[in-house]
Amino acid sequence: MSTPDSYQATAYTKRRRLAQGLNVWLFALPALLAYVVFLVSPAVQSIWISLTNWNGISPTKAFVGLDNYVQIFQDPTALLAMRNNLLWTVVTIAVPMVLGLLLAVALNGATLLKPFLRTVFYMPAVMPLVAIASIWSWLYDPSNGAINAFLKDIGLGALAHPWLGTSSTAFGAIMVPAIWVRTGFPMLIYLASLQGIPSELYESAKTDGASAWQCFWHITMPSLKPAHYIVLALSLIDSFKVFDIIYAMTYGGPGNSTQVLGTWMYFNVFQFYHAGYGTAIAVFITIVALACGIPYVLSQMREER
Amino acid sequence: MKNRHPNSESTLLTRRTVLGAAAAAPVAIFLASCSSTTGSSSEGKSLTLLTYDDADPAKILRKQLEVFRRQTGIKVALNTIPGSGAAIFPSKLRTELVGGKGPDVWRIWGGSIGGPFAENSFAADLTPYYKKYGWNSIIPKSDVTGMTWNGKPYGLPLYGVTVTAWYSKDAFDKAGITAVPTTYDELTAANEKLVASGQVPCGLGGEYGWDVMRLFEYLLEKNAGPQLHDKLITGKADWNTPAVVKSFTELKEWADKGWLPQGVMGLDPNNTEPGFTQGKYAYTIAGAWVDSQDIQTAMDPSAYSTFQLPTDRKPNRHSGWVEGFMINAASKSPDNAAKLLDFLTKVSTQKALQNTESTVKGAGPDPSKYPASVLNAKIGSSAPFYTIQDQALPAETANTYFSIQSEVVQGTMSPAKAAAQMEPAIKAGFSKSSK
């Protein structure tokens, strides 16, 4: 039977739940507000701009529907940029992942030299990309650069080449420092994962007569599966939004040979006064990056459950 | 007795207060940012000025702004984006203006770079101030034209750049060149001699396109002549013409014969331009800024001079452009901004600023300190100039040209195909820009 006291208790519980619910929102509000103001709102605005013919400076803009998105697939430079993005993504993910894994396996353990070597190999990852671009541009200098000088010194002068000044080699030449920079990250992730593999697994396998290769293939590699996933997902997003190193090393040239979607977006928005079209490219990049990131997010959610 | 929660009311209130404050803070910040004024920030006796001066010129400019403050009581806050160049500065300025926080006054290039700021109502029409201060009588009309859009002067051009060849006398001596070239044949002969003496003649860098363009447009002026050249860069003549083909052919010849640095299209012009004072190249193609930036900082400034690239035409024109200042149409102190511009036009200010490219009458470079700049100014005043190609052409068309130029130099596109591809690019560019 209900009593006035129990009514009061129920009402209090309801109020308390409501207050707690509100509290949650109040705690989240500052972050949510910042998120909405600085991320959601510009993103929505960008989508709107991508549907207009805005030149980026005029006070007026007209709605053009999906014309800008259609234009992406008719613009030869945008198509070239897409191809470059794809090539960039494959090479700058696969090579650093393999190198990072090899380095991690080699540097896993606790000898005196290994921590030092880990630092050395990770160092490029913390350097500013513009500084890296400058260093490598000097190294590639056709007349005074160290790379051509080295080739000449070892008798391979015939291979000396204006690496950044020729369309056929410029894109590959930019990939080299990108690989150099990006090997440190997978190495670090793999190292952390390697240190979490119980040594008993290796001891048991060795007792059973497993070779080093069998240990690597049947113990190390399966144990690194979550690490592979993290490295792949984050590298994929990182690769697709490449901009700075290309902008700093070749400015998309020679000609347009090293354009990627990020640089072509920049040129259209900031150089050619085609803000509508450039923003459509930006939205396109975001959609692709999101599509790449969704499997990673889903996997994280599954693990949390 | 009421069944009370262990938390006291006062504790709840405190938490609510904290939560409320936490929630209100970002809202307040957001609203504050929304409620701030749009347009230029200054009102009354202060102005904001945005330029692309490097550290040393900015230091000199700050001193002059202090002189201006003492004279007028108007304080000018200078903001510079050093080393940003025409490829970057306009986009930064545009972002500020579109964001509603533009400066009162800014420095900018003429032609197609400054044009969008005038044509989209961000810059003020300076006609009343030209009349009030008599700027037309101290700045040549040809320079004012470079900052005139839709028949109105939206800018005050204080820098008139004359593009000439800047060379090392030692390099020429080493090659046995006794006099500067006065015909194209003499120039090519000089190049041959420089190569024969183990030197690279012309130090240009093609990374951004515009530096090698200075050579191409010179070749185009030589081959097409002033009239056709003017028609070509204004989209009034067909680019698929023998003069253009010949110009591309000669450009390729310059690269193939080693008259340009190896791998020229991958080189940063910021690195190649000072090369003539570093013994890397014999000469470069630039404006008088190299005098103050490179020659004056060399061991022996007298070892360098300049000459006009010979076009074998009459008039023997040179490439050029103007740079100057614009006033924000939304400035709250346009009259004070105009006062600042007028202060900058004073001969004493121009001299104090060490402007070796001054358009102001009587403010030419000091012959005792800048003899090469004096020569450059003399060349500038001896004949009209053609507007440098990347300011004459719409930006997207200039980029297409850079791409074609790059392929020609690398040998992946024939000069004939280059000329044929330029024509639709030019037509499309001018068609878009006229809309």
pLDDT digit string (tens) for B112-131?
899 999 999 999 999 999 99
Q: CA–CA separation, B170 vs B150, rounded Å?
A: 48
Provide the mean pLDDT of chain B. 89
Closest CA to A241 of A50, A64, A92, A127: A92
Q: Is the CB of B116 less than 8 angstroms away from the CB of A55? A: yes
Q: Is the CB of B87 less than 8 angstroms away from the CB of A140? A: no
A120 pLDDT more than 50 = yes
Q: What kind of architecture, by CATH, is found in domain B46-162+321-373?
A: 3-Layer(aba) Sandwich (3.40)
Q: What is the mean pLDDT of residues B44-52?
A: 91
Minimal CA separation from A65 to chain B, in Å: 19
Q: What are phi and psi of A225, to 5 degrees?
A: -55, -50
Mutating which of B14, B154, B207, B278 best tests the A interface, going by the most A Cβ atoms within 10 A? Answer: B207
For residues B383 and B316, the answer to whether their CB atoms sit within 8 Å is yes
Q: With contacts defined as CB-CB under 8 Å, which chain B residues touch A170? A: 266
Say what percent of chain B tops pLDDT 70. 89
Q: CA–CA separation, B382 vs B308, rounded Å?
A: 11
For residues B416 and B350, the answer to whether their CB atoms sit within 8 Å is no
Q: With contacts defined as CB-CB under 8 Å, which chain B residues touch A251? A: 87, 207-208
Minimal CA separation from A89 to chain B, in Å: 23
Minimal CA separation from B404 to chain A, in Å: 7
Q: Is the CB of B27 less than 8 angstroms away from the CB of A33? A: yes
Q: With contacts defined as CB-CB under 8 Å, which chain B residues touch A58? A: 120
Q: What is the mean pLDDT of residues B346-356?
A: 94
Q: Please tell me which residue of chain B has the smallest CA distance to A259.
A: B403
Beta pairing class for B318-327 and B385-387: parallel
Q: Is the CB of B402 less than 8 angstroms away from the CB of A255? A: yes
Q: With contacts defined as CB-CB under 8 Å, which chain A residues touch B200? A: 143
Q: With contacts defined as CB-CB under 8 Å, which chain A residues touch B434? A: none
Higher per-residue confidence, A136 vs B14: A136
Tell me which CATH homologous superfamily contains domain A68-304.
Answer: MetI-like (1.10.3720.10)
Q: What is the residue whose two structure tokens read 């393999």? A: A98
What is the per-residue pLDDT for A284? 95
Q: Please tell me which residue of chain A has the smallest CA distance to B410.
A: A166
Q: What is the mean pLDDT of residues B337-356?
A: 96
Q: What is the mean pLDDT of residues A164-187?
A: 94
What is the per-residue pLDDT for A10? 78
Higher per-residue confidence, B170 vs A117: B170
Of the candidates B23, B116, B263, the beta carbon closest to that of A29 is on B23
Give the confidence band of B40 by pLDDT, cuts at 50, 70, 90: low
Q: Is the CB of A143 less than 8 angstroms away from the CB of B280? A: yes
Minimal CA separation from A68 to chain B, in Å: 15
Q: With contacts defined as CB-CB under 8 Å, which chain A residues touch B428? A: none
The answer to whether B46-162+321-373 and B164-286+393-434 have equal CATH topology is yes
Q: What is the mean pLDDT of residues B132-161?
A: 95
For residues B233 and B389, the answer to whether their CB atoms sit within 8 Å is yes
Q: Is the CB of A272 less than 8 angstroms away from the CB of B22? A: no
Q: What is the mean pLDDT of residues B1-5?
A: 38
Beta pairing class for B318-327 and B105-109: antiparallel
Q: Is the CB of B26 less than 8 angstroms away from the CB of A253? A: no
B2 pLDDT more than 50 = no
CA atoms within 13 A on the CB side of B415: 15
What pLDDT digit, counting tens, does each position of A268-297 carry?
998 888 999 999 999 999 998 888 778 777
Q: Is the CB of B91 less than 8 angstroms away from the CB of A23? A: no
Of the candidates A33, A58, A161, the beta carbon closest to that of B120 is on A58
Minimal CA separation from A109 to chain B, in Å: 43
Q: CA–CA separation, B401 vs B248, rounded Å?
A: 11
Q: What is the mean pLDDT of residues B260-269?
A: 93
Of the candidates B3, B87, B97, the beta carbon closest to that of A8 is on B3
Give the confidence band of A8 by pLDDT, cuts at 50, 70, 90: confident
Mutating which of A130, A266, A273, A279 best tests the B interface, going by the most B Cβ atoms within 10 A? Answer: A273
What is the per-residue pLDDT for B14? 53
Mutating which of A272, A274, A279 best tests the B interface, going by the most B Cβ atoms within 10 A? Answer: A272
Q: What is the pTM of this model?
A: 0.82
Q: CA–CA separation, B192 vs B85, rounded Å?
A: 33
Domain-wise residue ranges, chain B? 46-162+321-373, 164-286+393-434
Give the confidence band of B219 by pLDDT, cuts at 50, 70, 90: very high
What is the per-residue pLDDT for A237? 81
E strand or H helix at A263? helix A261-266
What is the per-residue pLDDT for B13? 46
Closest CA to B309 of B250, B222, B374: B222
Q: CA–CA separation, B360 vs B134, rounded Å?
A: 12
Of the candidates B30, B121, B399, the beta carbon closest to that of A33 is on B30
What is the per-residue pLDDT for A302? 74
What pLDDT digit, counting tens, does each position of A195-253 carry?
899 999 999 999 999 999 999 999 999 999 889 988 888 888 888 889 999 999 999 98
Q: Is the CB of B410 less than 8 angstroms away from the CB of A166? A: yes
CB within 8 A of B245, min separation 6: which ones?
B415, B416, B418, B419
CATH of B164-286+393-434, one of 3.40.190.10, 3.40.50.300, 1.10.3720.10, 3.90.320.10: 3.40.190.10
What is the per-residue pLDDT for B195? 98
Higher per-residue confidence, B250 vs A7: B250
What pLDDT digit, counting tens, does each position of A63-90 carry?
999 999 999 999 999 999 999 999 999 9
Closest CA to B388 of B261, B217, B209, B187: B217
Higher per-residue confidence, B258 vs A255: B258
Of the candidates B22, B94, B265, the beta carbon closest to that of A57 is on B94
Give the confidence band of B35 by pLDDT, cuts at 50, 70, 90: very low
Exposed, middle or buried, A196 (CB in 10 Å: 0-12/13-18/19+)?
A: exposed
Closest CA to B232 of B322, B421, B240: B240
- In the structure, how many helices (H) and strands (E) does chain A have? 16, 0
Closest CA to B159 of B397, B390, B388, B314: B388
Provide the mean pLDDT of chain A. 90
Minimal CA separation from A295 to chain B, in Å: 33
What is the per-residue pLDDT for B10? 42
Of the candidates A57, A170, A269, the beta carbon closest to that of B120 is on A57
Q: Is the CB of B395 less than 8 angstroms away from the CB of A33? A: no
Q: Please tell me which residue of chain A has the smallest CA distance to B12.
A: A19
Q: With contacts defined as CB-CB under 8 Å, which chain B residues touch A81? A: none
Q: Please tell me which residue of chain A has the smallest CA distance to B271.
A: A138
B353 pLDDT more than 60 = yes
CA torsion, ordered B272, B273, B275, B280, to nearest 10 deg? 50
What is the per-residue pLDDT for B243? 98
Q: Can you give B194-258 as a three-state secondary structure string? A: HHHCCCEEECCCCCCCHHHHHHHHHHHHHHHHHHHHHHHHCCCCCCCCHHHHHHHHHHHHHHHCC
